[in-house]
Amino acid sequence: MTGGDPLRLGILGGTFDPPHYGHLALAETARVQLGLARVLFVPAGDPPHKPGYPLSPAVHRAAMVKAAIADHPAFVLSRVDLDRPGPHYTVDMLALLGKMFPEAEFYFLMGSDSLAEFPTWRDPVGIIRQAVLAVMERPGGNADLDRLEREVPGIRERVVWLDAPRLDLSATDLRRRVREGLPVRYLVPPAVEAYIREHRLYLRGNGDA
Ligand code: ATP
């Protein structure tokens, strides 16, 4: 980056229940391919209490993200969606980050499953006005850009495809593996696996099938 270039920041929002190598590959590919100064990992806050809601408490999800990114100097945990009351819409999160980093150019990182659902998000045009979407293909998540362009005009020129291998990893499947006593080693960072074991996460069904 030369002196006059804007600060390029990546943002990876998610539930991270738990964080896994799919998230980390997405963040690292984007960082290198797009020359990002930093990638902010933004765990979603706790939703308003609903009986039987399957998400693990934010304190665990944030701690696991911290553990997952501890060895990477450009990866940072952002509490922007943890420390404010919900609902946590991406369009609002970007506006808040825009105030915190007024000189930054934002890249919102996502898998192609999220891109396929993007038109259903709150104010998608407002999101692509504030950030470029950096997308990693994901098995089962096919996004048709012609359809997306009809539903969210202008999106085509705000999407960048990342050159990463497709990794068939999901937090849902990892929770099942823990519950069923299958290994998660080599699927999540060792520190995340240690945290899951220490806090006995995912041992009982939490709403997943
Ligand atoms: P769950 O299975 O609980 O829905 P998840 O594995 O999809 O979780 P999230 O925290 O919901 O993880 O994902 C945050 C973001 O990371 C989303 O944009 C998602 O598309 C992306 N992502 C997660 N896993 C992958 C993967 N294996 N490849 C590419 N993108 C991924």
pTM for the full model?
0.94
Count of Cβ atoms closer than 10 Å to residue 185 Cβ: 7
Q: Report yes or no on 197 lying in a domain.
A: no
- pLDDT tens column, 31-59: 999 999 999 999 998 766 555 567 999 99
Pocket of ligand 1 (CB under 6 A): 14-17, 22-23, 26, 110-111, 113-114, 136, 138, 167, 169-172
Q: Report yes or no on 55 lying in a domain.
A: yes
Q: Distance (Å, rounded) from C-alpha 207 to C-alpha 53?
A: 7
> How many angstroms does the Cα of residue 14 sit away from the middle of ligand 1?
7
Q: For residue 109, give the ligand 1 atom closest to its CA.
A: 18
Q: Report yes or no on 187 lying in a domain.
A: no
**Closest residue (by CA) to atom 14 of ligand 1?**
14
Q: Report yes or no on 175 lying in a domain.
A: no
Domains in the chain, number: 1
Range of the domain at 102: 7-168
- pLDDT tens column, 143-158: 899 999 999 999 999 9
What CATH number is given to the structural domain containing 31? 3.40.50.620
